[in-house]
Amino acid sequence: MEVSKAIENRRSIRDFKQEDINKEIVEDILNCGRLAPSAKNRQPWYFVVVKSEIKNKIADMMIDYTITTNDAIERKKLGYANSANPTANVIKQAPILILIFKPKDDHWIVGDNLSIGACVQNICLRATDLGLGSLWIRDIAYVSEKVAEMLGHGDLELNCAVSLGIPNQCPKPRPRKKLEDIIEWL
């Protein structure tokens, strides 16, 4: 598929078929993430692929968080969003969850976050190219420390995640700002 077609066709998928994706395909997709550009070529990504019980446990941790975090300051600090609960249900439904970790390094926060954005976009576009669906997930941030500890990666920061699987829906394109409203030629 042409890159421009993949960009055009990609959607956030929130309904997946209950069919697994084989390891070679997941590795092909992650290889496209690996090839992304990165600030100072730091390649600040580390992928952990989780399925079945561990995946569902992570989703349950997100649901527990939305139920048990009543502290208003804590919720505001974390940018509390009601979307964490529906996102957790997407995680449960999709066969694969890719966790994207990055180094804990205060000097490289912006550069590393930008680099991970490039990496995750490559992942989502390759998934589209292969006829698969993906959902880029930030809602996992609410439980990122707990998840990192649980998986023995407390030395890293869980930045975001991607749910992956065979799509069971064809969402219409979500609205975008007009090009003329976001460009200024000087």
User: In the complex, which residues of this chain contact ligand FMN (CB under 6 A)?
Assistant: 11-12, 83, 87, 135-139, 171, 174
Task: Give the whole-angstrom CA distance, residue 103 versus residue 139.
Answer: 19
Instruction: Give the C-alpha separation, 53 to 82, whole Å.
Output: 24
Nearer residue to ligand FMN within complex by CB, 103 or 171 = 171
The nearer residue to ligand FMN, 76 or 155, going by C-beta atoms, is 76
Q: Radius of gyration (Cα) for the chain, nearest Å?
A: 17
| Shortest Cβ 139–ligand FMN spacing (Å) | 3
Question: Least distance in Å: CB of 142 to ligand FMN?
Answer: 10
Query: What does the alpha-carbon distance between residue 95 and residue 112 come to, in Å, rounded to a whole number?
Result: 28
Helix (H) or strand (E) run with residue 74 in it: helix 72-77
Please name the residues in contact with 109: beta carbons below 8 A apart, sequence gap of 6 or more.
none
Comparison of 85 and 150: residue with beta carbon closer to ligand FMN: 85
- Identify which of residues 34 and 138 has a Cβ nearer to ligand FMN in the complex: 138
Q: What is the nearest approach in angstroms of ligand FMN to the Cβ of residue 174?
A: 4
Residue 17, token pair as written in the block: 């078929």
User: In angstroms, what is the minimal distance from the CB of 72 to ligand FMN?
Assistant: 21
Between 37 and 79, whose beta carbon lies closer to ligand FMN? 79
For ligand FMN, the closer CB: 138 or 153: 138
Instruction: Give the separation between CA 12 and CA 167, rounded to whole angstroms.
Output: 10
DSSP state of 140: G
Joined together, the tokens standing for residue 128 give 């589209």
Of 88, 74, 75, nearest to 140 (Cα)? Answer: 88
> Could you tell me the smallest distance in angstroms from the CB atom of residue 136 to ligand FMN?
4
Question: Smallest distance from the beta carbon of 146 to ligand FMN, in angstroms?
Answer: 16
